[in-house]
Amino acid sequence: PADASPGNPGAPAGTPAPASPRPLASVIPAPLSVRPGGAPYVLSRDAVIGVPLDVPGAAGVGTYLAGLLRPSTGFALPVVPGGDGSGITLRLEGGGGDGGAAQGGPGAGNGLGGEGYRLTVRPAGVVISAAAPAGLFHGVQTLRQLLPAAVEAHSPQAGPWTVAGGTITDRPRYAYRGAMLDVARHFFGVGRVERYIDELALYKVDYLHLHLTDDQGWRIAIRSWPRLAAYGGTTEVGGGTGGYYTRAQYEQIVRYARSRFMTVVPEIDMPAHTNAALASYASLDCDGVAPALYTGVNVGFSSLCVGDDVTYTFARDVLREIAALTPGPYLHIGGDEAHSTSAADYRAFMDKVQPLVTDTGKTVMAWNQITGADPVKGAIAQYWGTSGTEPAVIAAARAGTRFVLSPANHTYLDMKYDARTRLGLAWAGYVEVKDAYDWDPATYLRGAPAGAVMGVEAPLWSETLTKDADIDLMAFPRLPAVAELGWSAAASHDWDAFAARLAAQGPRWQAMGIDWYRSPQVPWD
C-alpha cells in the first residue's frame, strides 16, 4: 500500500486514499501508447508547475492546471518559468507539423502533431511535452484522470496524490471531436455552457457546436435584425421565458472555449426551423404575415421565403455578424428537415446561401440534407441518419464533401437510454452506452472513402431538457464514449475494456458534481 503521508503533512482526514495509484491505462479516451513502469510520483505540497518561457498559450495551460489542483490538494503550486523538473513540467518541443493530426497521421518532427503529447511519470516529477499548447492541454487532461478522483473536489481532500509511473504517448485519430448543445429549444445561460465546456474538455473534445436558432427561439443578438433575439428569443419549448446571448456573452463563450482549446461552431438553421425568425419579422414570410411564437416540439413546418430577395439580405446580414464574432473556421447553416420547402426551392436556397458563408471567409457546415443539393467545394456535411447508406450522402463523400458523423442511433445524447429514461426522445430508438460506443467512424458510411470522415460529434437536443442538471444526465456516460471514438485509435476499440475505464470515472463525476445515468451495462466502481 502507498504511504499515506509524503506530500500531505497536515492534510485533513477524509476518505482513505486508494492503496495503489490508478493504472496508467485507465484514461478516457484511451491513449495511443501506454508504457507503465517505474515507481510512481507523489504530488507534494512544495511542488511547482514549470511552464515554457515566453510561449503564448503555454503558460495559460500551467495556470489552468494549478487552478484544477489547488482546491482539492490545498497546495500552492506556483506556476514558474522553466521549472526544475521536480514537480509538474510542461514543455514545448519542436515539430508538431500537421497542426491537428488530421486523420491521425503522424505529424512532422516528434510525431505528436498539433494536439498530441507525451506524459512521463517518474518519482522525481511529471513531464508533459508537446509540439503546441493544445497538446499540453490534452496531456493535462490525462494527468488529471491519473490522479485520484478526489482531485476534482472543490474543497481540501486527503491525498496522497499519487500518479503511476511510466510513459504515455498520445495523439488523436480525428481532427474533429465535437459536441452540440441545442440552446434553442430550451435556453441555457453562459455559466451552464461554460460548465459543459469544462466537462467536454476532460474528454479532449475540441469543437463545441451551438444550435443557436430554431422554431422555438432565436438565441443570439443580431444588430441589423434586433427583433430576432429581442422578440424571437422570448420563449422556448413549454412556454418558458427563453433568453438569448448578447454579443458580449457569445464572445465570452467563444473565449472560454478557446481557453479550453475548443472551437465554437455556431449554427443558424435555415431555411426550415425558422419560426422564431418568421415571427419576429413579417417581411421574411412569403405571405407577409408573421406567425405566432411557437412553443411545441414539431419539426419541419416553417420555411424562409426562398423566392424573396429579403431572405438573402437577412441571411447575409446574420452570417456576416456571426462570422465577425467567431474566430473558428466553420459556420453551420443547418439545412435539416425542410419539409415545407420543395426540393427545387431547397436547392435554390442552398445555391444562394452557401456563397454567403464562403464570402465571410468561413467554411460551410450543414446537416447531411445538403447532399440533396449541391454542396460547395470544401463544405462539411454532418451526418445524422441511422443507416450510413443514403446514395446522395455516399455520392457526395466520393465527390469530396467531408463528413462529421453524428448517427442518431449512436451519438444522439437526447435519445432515451431505455424505456425508463425520464428525459429524452426515442425516434432513433434507445441509445444505451454500448450503442454509443460500438461502431466505427471509418467504416460507418458504406462505400465512402475513409478520408471523407473528419470526425464525430455528439448532439444534445433540448426539447425535453429544462434544468441544468438534465444536460449531465443525458451526456454522461455517453459523451465519453463518442469522445473516445473521435480520439482513440481503432485498434484500441474494446467494449469490455472501455466499460471498465468508464466505471472508474464515476467517482470523478461524483466529485465534480455531475449526476449521471448509472447504466446497468457498466460495472460501476
Cα angle: 195, vertex 196, 198; to 5 degrees:
65
Q: Which runs of consecutive H residues, i.e. helices, occur in 412-467?
A: 433-437
Least distance (Å) between residue 239 CB and ligand TNX: 18
Least distance (Å) between residue 201 CB and ligand TNX: 25
> Which of 337, 457, 463, 484 is an active site residue?
337
For ligand TNX, which is the closer residue by CB, 182 or 199? Answer: 182
Amino acid, single-letter form, for residue 126? V
**What are the cell numbers at 206?**
475540441
Least distance (Å) between residue 367 CB and ligand TNX: 4
For ligand TNX, which is the closer residue by CB, 325 or 426? Answer: 426
- 476: CB partners within 8 A, 6+ apart: 199, 509, 514, 515, 516, 517
Least distance (Å) between residue 336 CB and ligand TNX: 3
Least distance (Å) between residue 418 CB and ligand TNX: 16
Give the residues across from 460 on adjacent strands.
Answer: 181
The alpha-carbon radius of gyration of the chain (Å, integer) is 23
In eight-state DSSP terms, residue 126 is E
For ligand TNX, which is the closer residue by CB, 299 or 489? Answer: 299
Q: How many contiguous H segments (helices) and E segments (strands) does the chain have?
A: 15, 19
- Footprint of ligand TNX (CB under 6 A): 299, 336-337, 367, 384, 412, 414, 425, 461, 463
Q: Count of CB atoms within 10 A of residue 197's CB?
A: 21
For ligand TNX, which is the closer residue by CB, 2 or 299? Answer: 299
463 catalytic per annotation: no
Contact 155, 75 (CB under 8 A): no
Contact 72, 156 (CB under 8 A): yes
Least distance (Å) between residue 410 CB and ligand TNX: 13
For ligand TNX, which is the closer residue by CB, 261 or 367? Answer: 367
User: Positive or negative CA dihedral for 409, 413, 418, 423?
Assistant: negative
Amino acid, single-letter form, for residue 10? G
For ligand TNX, which is the closer residue by CB, 264 or 413? Answer: 413
Nearest to 411 by CA among 519, 483, 494: 483
Residues identified as active-site: 337
